[in-house]
């Protein structure tokens, strides 16, 4: 019988955990406690000073400064968007500590164009420049401020206890995660050629439903392929009183929207999750004018690559066949376009690595603080590092919400404010403590002397 190196390492680790890890965990938690006040201040600063994707200059500078002060070899402005004049604010910090594996830890840097409505004393009032050039309010509504703070804390811990690990630690601050562009930009700029290529890559993501103090693990598919699809429904406009003299794109758009729904329920296997959502429809200018076109914007979510291809092909077929059935000529068939620049591949957590880390975190944090959770249909471009590097990755969920608030909402039968909500709030201290302790323990396990 043959065993993978990762399996053997997991087995040997299990033999040692019961005697070595409890004492080490207690020591680690004490060291995290010594840094917590400073880390909470960093968190509040980052929360109050969010920056949009492609504009993360100050957030990147803070991460770079922290790494540099700890002795990392730091390179800034790593990334290539392929757009002239657009700077990628990627940060790479490398610390070499003898012979051993190379492990990468990633944080994202960017925020969202949302007006914060949390009422926090350190709530964001920051503004940024939108794609159209206008000024918009900006908020850390997806927990990237928590990610950055946990990242800084982990770097501090691992620097402080360098005698307990061997190998090369690569810590990266990634821009433009919210646009699905940052990981690709850093890889296109030679991330795995210019810097040590990792054997494992780890990341956290805040969880808006999980109490602070807990960590969630998912084995296998954890987050989805995300595709943005634009459909232009073409017609021949005219007077609303004479619809028989037009080819009405509004009517056709309504039929297309309805006909898209059976793709998931009747074409895709019920064992393969998929979502087709029409999130935007625009057409027309006045009550009595039938327009020449209507535009639809879709988000499509899948896990498996073959299911993704099937769904995307079906969307095109449904749009065109619906138009033909309505009597539209070939020259007026809908135009279906895939926004490749916004595509994010599905995140697949390596099962062996995830199982190994779950055991370590259970021993470090306690069994009641580590949960196995269900995959979600959100997207994360962290997946690209595993796909393009052909390396095992694990993205873990970090509980972010005040426990009493979780209980209160549950008792009232209400949903907590989700990620990307103007009312999403992080309960900083326990979330940071848990994140730093857990990520440090995970890295230590992978980089044992």
Same domain, yes or no: 264 and 194 = no
Q: What pLDDT, in 10s, does the model give residues 318-375? A: 999 999 999 999 999 999 999 988 899 999 999 999 999 999 999 999 999 999 999 9
Q: Return d(Cα 146, Cα 431) in angstroms, integer.
A: 8
CA-CA distance, 251 to 332, in Å (whole number)? 14
Span 179-208, average pLDDT: 97
Q: What is the CATH number of the domain that holds 134?
A: 3.40.630.10
Q: Give the pLDDT band (50/70/90) at residue 20.
A: very low
Q: Considering its fold, how many domains does the chain have in total?
A: 2
Q: Residue 18: pLDDT band by 50, 70, 90 thresholds?
A: very low
Q: Is the pLDDT of residue 287 over 80?
A: yes
Integer Cα distance of 202 and 103 in angstroms: 8
From the number of C-beta atoms within 10 Å of its C-beta (0-12, 13-18, 19+), residue 281 rates as: middle
Pairing of strands 289-290, 370-372: unpaired
User: Are 177 and 206 contacting, i.e. CB atoms less than 8 angstroms apart?
Assistant: no
Same domain, 243 and 213: no
pLDDT confidence band for 299 (50 / 70 / 90): very high
Judgement on whether residues 379 and 231 belong to the same structural domain of the protein:
no
Residue 23: pLDDT over 60: no
Check whether residue 186 and residue 232 sit in a common domain.
no
Whether residue 219 sits in one domain with residue 229: no
pLDDT top residue among 272 and 11: 272
SS3 246: coil
CA distances from 371 to 70, 116, 185, 205, 327 (A): 32, 30, 33, 14, 54
Q: Which residues of 171-180 are buried (b: 16+ CB within 10 A; e: fewer)?
A: bbbbbbbbbb
Helix (H, G, I), strand (E, B) or coil at 71: coil
3-class DSSP string for 379-428: CCCCHHHHHHHCCCEEEEEEEEECHHHHHHHHHCCCCCCCCCCCCCCCCH
Of 342, 359, 389, which residue is a domain's last? 342
Q: Is the pLDDT of residue 118 over 80?
A: yes
Taking the C-alpha atoms of 394, 96, 440 and 385 in order, what is their torsion angle to the nearest 10 degrees?
-20
- Point out the domain boundary residue: 316, 342, 368: 342
Average pLDDT of 228-234? Answer: 98
d(CA 59, CA 153): 15
For residue 7, the model assigns a pLDDT of 58
Q: pLDDT tens digits for 363-405?
A: 999 999 999 999 999 999 999 999 999 999 999 999 999 999 9
Q: Within this chain, do residues 88 and 191 fall inside the same structural domain, yes or no?
A: yes
β-strands 274-283, 293-302 pairing: antiparallel
Given a cut of 70, whether residue 217 has pLDDT beyond it is yes
Say what the pLDDT of residue 29 is.
Answer: 85
Look at residues 305, 321, 342 and tell me which one is the last residue of a structural domain: 342
Rg (CA), the chain: 24
Give, rounded to a whole angstrom, the gap between the first and last alpha carbons of the chain: 27
Q: Strand locations in 121-199, DSSP E?
A: 127-129, 135-137, 167-174
Same domain, 243 and 199: no
Please give the backbone phi and psi of residue 368, each rounded to the nearest 5 degrees, phi first: -75, -5
State the pLDDT at residue 3: 55
Least confident of 20-29, 172-181, 391-400: 20-29
Q: Same domain, yes or no, for 381 and 433? A: yes
Residue 96 Ramachandran class (φ > 0 left, ψ -120 to 50 alpha, else beta): beta
Distance between CA atoms of residues 320 and 329, nearest Å: 10
**Residues 214 and 230 occupy one common structural domain:** no
Helix (H) or strand (E) holding 245: none
Q: What was the pLDDT predicted at 19?
A: 40
C-alpha distances (whole Å) from 95 to each of 62, 162, 448 are 18, 10, 15
Question: Would the pLDDT of 91 be above 90?
Answer: yes
pLDDT of amino acid 315: 98
Question: 229 and 219, same structural domain?
Answer: no
Task: Taking residues 85-107, report their average pLDDT.
Answer: 97
Q: Span 123-136, mean pLDDT? A: 95
Task: Please check whether residues 122 and 248 belong to one and the same domain.
Answer: no
188, 80 in Cβ contact below 8 A?
yes
The whole-chain average pLDDT of the chain stands at 94
CATH code, domain carrying 315: 3.30.70.360
The whole-number average pLDDT for the span 1-9 is 56
The verdict on 282 and 354 lying in the same domain is no
Domain that residue 146 falls in: 5-223+346-446
* Residue 69: band (very low, low, confident or very high) from pLDDT cuts 50, 70, 90: very high
């Amino acid at each position: 019988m043959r065993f993978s190196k990762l399996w053997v390492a997991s087995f040997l680790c299990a033999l040692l955990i019961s005697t070595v890890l409890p004492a080490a965990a207690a020591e680690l938690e004490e060291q995290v406690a010594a840094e917590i006040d400073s880390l909470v201040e960093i968190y509040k600063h980052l929360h109050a000073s969010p920056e949009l994707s492609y504009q993360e200059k100050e957030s990147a500078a803070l991460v770079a400064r922290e790494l540099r002060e700890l002795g990392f070899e730091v390179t800034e402005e790593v990334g290539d968007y392929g757009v002239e004049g657009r700077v990628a604010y990627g940060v790479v910090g490398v610390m070499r500590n003898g012979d051993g594996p190379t492990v990468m830890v990633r944080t994202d840097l960017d925020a969202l164009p949302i007006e914060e409505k949390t009422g926090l004393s350190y709530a964001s009032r920051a503004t940024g420049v939108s794609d159209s050039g206008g000024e918009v309010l900006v908020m850390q509504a997806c927990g990237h401020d928590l990610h950055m703070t946990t990242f800084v804390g982990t770097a501090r811990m691992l620097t402080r206890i360098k005698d307990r690990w061997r190998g090369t630690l690569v810590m990266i601050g990634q821009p433009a995660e919210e646009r699905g562009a940052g990981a690709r930009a850093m890889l296109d700029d030679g991330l795995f050629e210019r810097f040590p290529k990792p054997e494992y890559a780890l990341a956290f993501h805040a969880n808006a439903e999980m109490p602070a103090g807990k960590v969630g693990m998912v084995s296998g598919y954890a987050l989805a392929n995300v595709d943005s699809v634009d459909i232009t429904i073409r017609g021949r406009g005219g007077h609303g009183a004479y619809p028989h003299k037009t080819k009405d794109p509004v009517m056709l758009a309504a039929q297309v929207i309805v006909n898209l729904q059976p793709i998931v329920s009747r074409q895709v296997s019920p064992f393969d999750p998929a979502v087709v959502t029409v999130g935007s429809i625009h057409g027309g200018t006045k009550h009595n004018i039938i327009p020449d076109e209507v535009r639809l914007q879709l988000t499509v979510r899948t896990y498996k690559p073959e299911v993704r291809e099937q769904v995307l092909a079906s969307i095109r077929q449904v749009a065109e066949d619906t138009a033909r059935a309505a009597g539209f000529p070939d020259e007026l068939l809908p135009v279906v376009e895939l926004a490749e620049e916004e595509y994010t591949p599905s995140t697949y957590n390596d099962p062996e690595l995830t199982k190994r880390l779950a055991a370590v975190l259970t021993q470090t944090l306690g069994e009641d603080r580590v949960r196995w959770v269900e995959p979600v249909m959100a997207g994360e471009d962290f997946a690209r590092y595993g796909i393009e590097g052909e390396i095992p990755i694990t993205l873990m969920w970090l509980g972010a919400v005040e426990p009493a608030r979780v209980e209160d909402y549950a008792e009232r039968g209400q949903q907590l404010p989700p990620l990307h909500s103007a009312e999403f709030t992080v309960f900083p201290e326990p979330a940071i403590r848990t994140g730093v302790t857990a990520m440090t323990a995970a890295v230590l396990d992978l980089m044992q002397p």
